Structures are given as C-alpha cells and as structure tokens.
C-alpha cells in the first residue's frame, strides 16, 4: 500500500508539472523556428518613446540565409523613408528621397541588439544565462538582457509569443521598467522564398528622377524638397536641448552655399563640439558616403555613427555633430534632443 501511495504521488506531481512550460523549451522552440527559416519577411510597427514624445515607424524586415538583410523604415509622421541593407558588398543606409546612401564597414546587425530582427533577438536570449520566462493565459514572455553599446539606457527586453510560439511583439525597457522601444508584429512569414536579387542596392535608388534632373516620363524636373524650395534658406535654427554641463554656445555662423544655408554652431567649455545644420539636397547622381562606424537609430531617423561624430537627416535637414570630447552616449543625447523638439526660434545667449 505504501508503494502504491508513493507511486500515485509521483504521478500527481508529474501531471501538474507537465502543465507548465519551462524557459529552456521556449528558448529551444524559438531557436528551432529561426534555424529552419531560410528567409523571412516581417512587417509591423515600431514605436520609440523619448520623454513625452513617441515616434512611430512602419517596419518591413527581410532576411536571407548567409547574412542578407533589408530593413525598410518609414516614419509615419512625415513619410521619411530609409532602408538598411546588408549584402555581400557591405552595410548601407539608403535615403531614397535624397538619392544618397551611407556605406558602413560594420558588423551590423550581429554587434548589437535589434528589436525587429530574429537572429539578434535569439542571440540576446542565448547570451543571457538569467533569461526568464513568464507564462500568461495567452502568452509566453521571455525576458533577457540587451546589448545596445551606443545607448546604455536600454537594459532588457520582453519578447512576447502566443501559445503556438508565434512572435507577437518586443518591448525594450530601461532600468525604471519604462518601455523605450516597442515592436508590434503584424505578420511574419518564415518561408518567404526570397533570394539574393531581393537585396540589390540599385533597386533602392529613387526611380522618380534620373541624373539629368528630368523624370522618367520626361515631363517633370526633379526638385529639392526643403523648408524653402526657392532659396534653400533655413528660417529657424534648431538648438540642442541637451548640452553637457559647463558647455556653452560660443559662436554661430550662417553660410550661403550653392545648395542653400549652412549653419555652424560652436560650443565650448568642458565638452567642446560643433553642430552643422543645412538644407538636405537631392543628389543628381546616386551618392555613396563611406562611413567607418555603425547605423544608429535615432528618434526619427537612422544615423551614421563614427568615432566622435554622428550624421543624420531629419525633416529635410541634414545634421553633422562632432566633438573629440564627446562619448557615444553624449553624441546620442545631443542628437536626440534635436530630433524630439519642434523648431526653436528663440536665440540662445552666446558667451
């Protein structure tokens, strides 16, 4: 009788134990899905939260085995489109409307977390020995540390799956458990049937206008979409809301170039830096700008981050920020303080 009682207890424990999925199984199922996929197409939305502002993108991410990536990002506020492309030739950030691209010497996307790409998500889960699992009535939720070397505010992520292990959303949080990035997956096709022809740089170049500034139909000429199409004038200078302590605006210069105004703001003090603002111009021929750095997602644009400098386009304006005294985090803080404000028309006091 005693043996029967012990056996019954073991069976009861096993029965209840089988009702709960452990973290190892969820991680294994996630890895299995990714490894079986030769190509995938993910579409959805991405929200970036910065203080009281939220920047919303439409996201379409494509992947092909052997490290081919194409991520199309469209800002829903102003329809500003950029594409991050990785193929055998390198890593590019293309802005079709300007007929320009940065070309990076970079290990992107394997060198950092990426909330809209499957392999980096899996790497986060595998690299964190303390990855945890929460199970609700509708979801499995993996929680893992993240690796954003240029944004130390981002600490961990929650990856949501339905009970069939379909990816639903990703939330990247800070130390205060506030969601800073949220990717909501609308669809994910793990058998997309893509090939290398889907990752060709030339296919991303704007077809609206050719190098002679005459559109393909021969009836319209290309024009530069700027704050002032006639003169390329900058009506309002944008000043950073974040400035390192004991650092002040010491000089402001406005130059008249062949493409329009160029503003040079010089800040001096404990952290010297220079900020250049100018009207974005459309290149007559497709322009590739070499960059030794990494693509970096700002609030409303994909920027080119190099040693001690950052370059990006926002609202038809180009920005170049450089300072040997600035860390990558300080560069990011200054740049994001420019992109999350409306035009600042009041003059700053020069010292």
pLDDT, tens digit, 9 for 90 and up, residues 119-142: 999 999 999 999 999 999 999 999
Residue 234 has what pLDDT?
Answer: 81
CA 16, chain centre distance (Å): 43
Give me the pLDDT at residue 259, please: 77
Q: How much is the pLDDT for 6?
A: 54
- Class of the domain covering 21-189: mainly beta
Q: Answer yes or no: is pLDDT of 265 > 90.
A: yes
The pTM assigned to this predicted structure is 0.84
Residue with tokens 């459309």, as numbered in its chain: 282
Whole-Å CA distances, 154 to 16, 50, 178, 180, 257: 37, 12, 10, 8, 40
> Which one is predicted more confidently, 232 or 117?
117
Note the pLDDT tens digit of each residue in 179-202: 999 999 999 999 999 999 999 999
CB 262 within 8 A of CB 278: yes
Query: Mean pLDDT score of the chain, rounded to an integer?
Result: 85
Listed range (49-58, 108-117, 139-148) with the worst mean pLDDT: 49-58
Sheet holding 53-64, edge to edge: 132-135, 139-145, 156-162, 167-173, 179-189, 39-50, 53-64, 68-75, 81-87, 90-95, 100-104, 287-291
Per the model's pLDDT, the better-predicted residue between 351 and 243 turns out to be 243
Please give the pLDDT value at position 78.
86
- Closest C-alpha among 181, 159, 156 to residue 168: 159
The domain segmentation of the chain, as residue ranges, is 21-189, 219-351
Torsion angle of the four alpha carbons 244, 247, 248, 252, in this order, in degrees rounded to the nearest 10: -80
Determine the Cα–Cα distance for residues 38 and 126; give it in Å rounded to an integer. Answer: 20
Write down the pLDDT at residue 82: 96
**pLDDT at residue 213 above 60?**
no
CATH class of 219-351: alpha beta
| pLDDT of 52 | 83
Contact 268, 242 (CB under 8 A): no
Q: Is the pLDDT of residue 211 over 60?
A: no
pLDDT computed for residue 314 by the predictor: 87
324: confidence class by pLDDT, cuts 50, 70, 90: very high
Name the DSSP letter for residue 228: S
Between CA 45 and CA 73 the distance in angstroms is 9
Residues 47-70 have pLDDT tens digits of: 999 888 899 999 999 999 989 999
Percent of the chain with pLDDT over 70: 83
Cα-Cα-Cα-Cα dihedral of 141, 65, 111, 105, to 10°? -150
Mean pLDDT of the region 267-287: 93
Could you tell me the two tokens for 14? 């096993």
**Residue 12: both structure tokens together:** 């009861």
């Amino acid at each position: 009788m005693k043996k029967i009682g012990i056996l019954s207890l073991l069976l009861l424990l096993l029965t209840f134990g089988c009702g709960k999925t452990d973290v190892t199984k969820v991680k294994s199922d996630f890895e299995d899905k990714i490894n079986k996929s030769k190509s995938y197409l993910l579409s959805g939305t991405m929200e970036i939260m910065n203080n009281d502002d939220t920047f919303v993108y439409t996201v379409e991410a494509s992947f092909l085995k052997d490290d081919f990536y194409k991520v199309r990002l469209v800002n829903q506020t102003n329809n500003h489109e950029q594409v991050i492309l990785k193929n055998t030739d390198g890593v590019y950030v293309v802005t079709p409307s300007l007929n320009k691209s940065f070309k990076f010497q970079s290990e992107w996307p394997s060198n950092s977390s990426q909330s809209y790409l499957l392999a980096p998500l899996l790497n986060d889960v595998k690299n964190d020995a303390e990855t945890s699992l929460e199970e609700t009535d509708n979801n499995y939720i993996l929680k893992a540390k993240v690796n954003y070397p240029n944004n130390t505010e981002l600490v961990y992520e929650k990856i949501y799956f339905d009970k069939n292990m379909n990816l639903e959303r990703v939330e990247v949080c800070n130390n205060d458990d506030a969601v800073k990035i949220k990717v909501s997956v609308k669809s994910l096709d793990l058998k997309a049937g893509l090939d290398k022809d889907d990752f060709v740089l030339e296919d991303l170049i704007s077809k609206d206008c050719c190098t002679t500034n005459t559109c393909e139909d021969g009836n319209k000429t290309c024009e530069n979409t700027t704050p002032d199409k006639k003169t390329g004038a900058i009506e309002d200078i944008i000043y950073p809301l974040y400035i390192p302590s004991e650092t002040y605006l010491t000089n402001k210069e406005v130059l008249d170039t062949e493409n329009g105004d160029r503003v040079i703001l010089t800040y001096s003090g404990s952290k010297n830096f220079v900020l250049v603002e100018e009207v974005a111009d459309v290149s007559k021929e497709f322009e590739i700008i070499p960059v030794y750095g990494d693509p970096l997602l700002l609030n409303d644009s994909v920027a080119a981050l190099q040693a001690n400098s950052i370059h990006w386009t926002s609202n038809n304006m180009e920005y170049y920020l450089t300072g040997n005294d600035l860390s990558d985090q300080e560069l990011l803080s200054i740049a994001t303080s420019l992109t999350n404000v409306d035009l600042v028309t009041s003059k700053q006091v020069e010292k």
